[in-house]
Structure 1
């Protein structure tokens, strides 16, 4: 196995690893996921109920929570690279500074306007409410991803020691499935909305490893299989979300269907975008799409943090005019402005923290030199 990877490294050093397209177009994919999540939460259906387009629009809106799975896939990829470059303490610092402040800022604003009790506020920002009461109390993705961050270095340690990474990955998925099945009579059902997404996060971690090792080259046959995976995922998503099909676990509509969509759709979109860039007459379209959707990808986390609460406050007024499409556009603009503001605030906070970190590190180094 090790020899094969070394051999692949030599043969693919100059050739692009197709998996690395996920990194190349990461902002685009994050932006797409962020917009899809906004759609599932707040988009107002604009097509007529009797038309074919209504079915399509309603389906795309209904399964928009798959954007969370795309987030987790890309996050898992990034975490592998982060742990390869940094110590565990530096890893925690880099990860937590990115998510903690937007979350606390939004929780603090909402707590004042919506008159939360001090106890409820404490339970939200500490994650106690997430595990003790209900995961969807407030911005459930944040305590979920922080939980994954906390355990990732442990997983990384075992992953690095495993001689056969694929076998280790398969074994982990088997343990996850066994736990999920055994816990179904004990664990709250809403928690499956989180635990069902652990496999896609771990898959992202594996893809991060494969990208770094350059061990995979996707052939035309592989792309055909990836396309079939996407089609199967969409079919199962329709069956589980509209026809009540149960797939092994509770809250199964965000498990197998989302997994299949999330490991295929980002690759397909990245490949199409890359093809557009490579064709001279279409390059401007590829670059334009990349920059446009990448705008939301740049602030995807902050955009997520503000969207649902702001929509509950302003959407009823936006809909008074009767034009749903216009209401959707106005909501997107307002949420984008608020998300950008939160992004800039967080960027300033992180800049100050990094400055303090550099200064204290330099002081420490100077003291060591003096001694």
Structure 2
């Protein structure tokens, strides 16, 4: 687990690349293809599971730091840090999107995240999901401390039954299921964050490798099942509960073995900017064929230019939010 902690930013960098390329090849009328890699990129929603797994793991450390700094107000400090990390950038992007659409009705539903949960207007499903998971963290943390692995098993069984029920009832194109199906992987991240170092021995890594292959077989089976199982039913995503830990360990071990500083630096930067990259790339990549001048320029050149713009805007947004938050903190301090 030390390797996953060491390469956390790089893992998030790989995850956001996976998500972006997933959206690229699956956008409507997309001319983009990466040949045999399309079968891997077509499962790029697994990048979100990597984010949530690492988030659950990382939040344990953040929570413990809050307890050490101010035990009586730990929960307030914890929520403040999480909201300040999520809200400013999200609100900024939602406002820009509403201006672009000239539709201010979307703004309230997006910023409040209500739109996602009532299946109405929304910017995306991801931020409402992580916001709810972050708000639930202190409760989940206590439940995992008390019931340990049993809580994960019970949670998985409940979510599995819910997703099967939704598929059985043919309520499958519901983005809320993308949120519900991600609860177990977040809980698993918290569980691994709580586990003592002695838990992460050779048998742990062996089990995770076996579980990863089981998860891949399950994912392949579901995708080729004659049953009416669609993407938004949540079952595809649930398989990443088995896949993600082993995958993160293999990637971390590979990065630690090959030791390419330039590659690690690039992946680390993308990981640090992953939240901004996710929010900013979303509507651009999903609608790339509808963007200005598409078709007038070679589509690979167009994609390269667009990615450079997305990274640049993400970097500038990240820095701008840090400046704004620093100003706010100084004003409060002076008062």
- Gapped regions of structure 1 (runs ≥ 5): 1-18, 48-52, 277-282, 361-371
Residue 36 (1) aligns with residue 18 (2): yes
How do 1:161-172 and structure 2 match up within 5 A? 162=146, 165-172=148-155
Contact kept? 1:130, 1:143, Cα under 8 Å: yes
* CA shift digits 1:287-333 (9 cap, x unpaired): 22211111100110001010022335665446425634333322221
Alpha-carbon distance, 1:242 to partner:
5.4
Partner of 2:69: none
How do 1:1-371 and structure 2 match up within 5 A? 19-43=1-25, 54=35, 56-86=36-66, 87-117=74-104, 119-134=105-120, 137-160=122-145, 162=146, 165-178=148-161, 189-210=174-195, 213-219=196-202, 222-241=204-223, 246=229, 250-256=233-239, 258-276=240-258, 283=259, 285=260, 287-311=261-285, 315=289, 316-317=291-292, 319-321=294-296, 323-356=298-331, 358-359=333-334
Alpha-carbon distance, 1:79 to partner:
1.3
Aligned partners of 1:312, 1:179: CA distance in 2, in Å? 29
* CA shift digits 1:256-281 (9 cap, x unpaired): 2x2222222111101122223xxxxx
Aligned partners of 2:287, 2:156: CA distance in 1, in Å? 41
Aligned partners of 2:278, 2:115: CA distance in 1, in Å? 20
Pairwise CA RMSD? 2.8
How many residues get paired?
A: 319
Contact kept? 2:119, 2:176, Cα under 8 Å: no
SS at match of 2:252: helix
Q: Tell me: CA distance 1:274–1:328, structure 2 relative to 1, closer, same or farther (3 Å).
A: same
- Gapped regions of structure 2 (runs ≥ 5): 67-73
* CA shift digits 1:219-265 (9 cap, x unpaired): 1x554443333333334333434556649x93311222x22222221
Alpha-carbon distance, 1:351 to partner:
2.0
- Structure showing greater Rg: 1
Contact kept? 1:59, 1:238, Cα under 8 Å: no
Task: State the TM-score, normalized to the length of structure 2.
Answer: 0.84
Contact kept? 1:63, 1:237, Cα under 8 Å: no
Q: Tell me: CA distance 1:204–1:120, structure 2 relative to 1, closer, same or farther (3 Å).
A: same
Partner of 1:12: none
Contact kept? 2:110, 2:123, Cα under 8 Å: yes
Contact kept? 2:106, 2:122, Cα under 8 Å: no
SS at match of 1:215: helix
